[in-house]
Amino acid sequence: MYQAVTKADTAAYVVGRQDGSLSANDYKVTFRGSQADDFVDEVEDALERVLAGWRARDASKDRLDQARDELEGQLSQELHIGFEHLPASVLTDKDFWRFCSAYLYDFIVWRQPSNAVTALLPYFGAASNGLGRECVPHRMFDRAQIVKTGGDLAGDPDPYSLARFGAADVWKSHILRVANGNAPVVVREMLTDVKTGKLKTHVVRTFVKNLRRARSNVLFEVLNQPQARDLVDRERARTLSSAATLDSDGGSD
């Protein structure tokens, strides 16, 4: 048994919290699944750990989006540890993630500040029938799942380390929204290069385009860590070489 909140009820809760007509936890929860498999306390414990980590933050950095992203990355580890053993029937239920979003309302409006309800709804998975890529707890789980899988395959003693690395644009535009998220070892090597500065953020878009072209000849999902490292090194060198050529051509005009 686990908690769920429908799309309509999630949207109504966000509207009510924004206009002051609803208080915290005034959302309509239903319970799904078998009573023999009770995950209710396990789910709430994980969400409470996320909220506790958020409340313990350094509030002086709240205006920095980079700081908010780094904290989201850190808390994604807590969320994943709490949820990774939940059955697929729970993790694939969109209304489960909407419940998580409603429970984490204060954290989400801090993470994605906006005065417009329509702008907030995607972060609660309530903008459309699909969950979308912006639903905050779902993207946090995905972020941690991808890096932990890649880290485990690579034998990393701290497989969550790259989840804690703040690179919101890279995650949003180039991992969660494209197929690279299905190849966690490749993602790990790419993020390693972004973190160490070998791959500057302004060339990541071109680099990812090169990776996507390489997919027509290489099955990323079967690569081990050394093979993924070779692939990323090769495509990074190609990207940087192309960028240098363009800069040279532009400078000669």
pLDDT, residue 253, reads: 47
Predicted pLDDT of residue 181: 66
User: What is the structure's pLDDT at 171?
Assistant: 77
| pLDDT given at position 242 | 81
Q: Kindly list the averaged pLDDT for each block of 10 residues, start to end, along the chain of length 253.
A: 98 97 96 95 98 92 84 95 97 98 97 92 96 93 92 91 79 68 86 90 86 87 92 93 65 49
Q: Which CB contacts under 8 angstroms, 24+ apart, belong to 200-207? A: 201/167, 201/169, 201/170, 203/239, 203/240, 203/243, 204/169, 204/170, 204/174, 205/173, 205/174, 206/239, 206/242, 206/243, 207/235, 207/236, 207/239
So what's the pLDDT on residue 137? 98
Between helix 65-83 and helix 40-55 the angle, nearest 10°, is 160
Domain extent listing, the chain: 1-134, 167-253
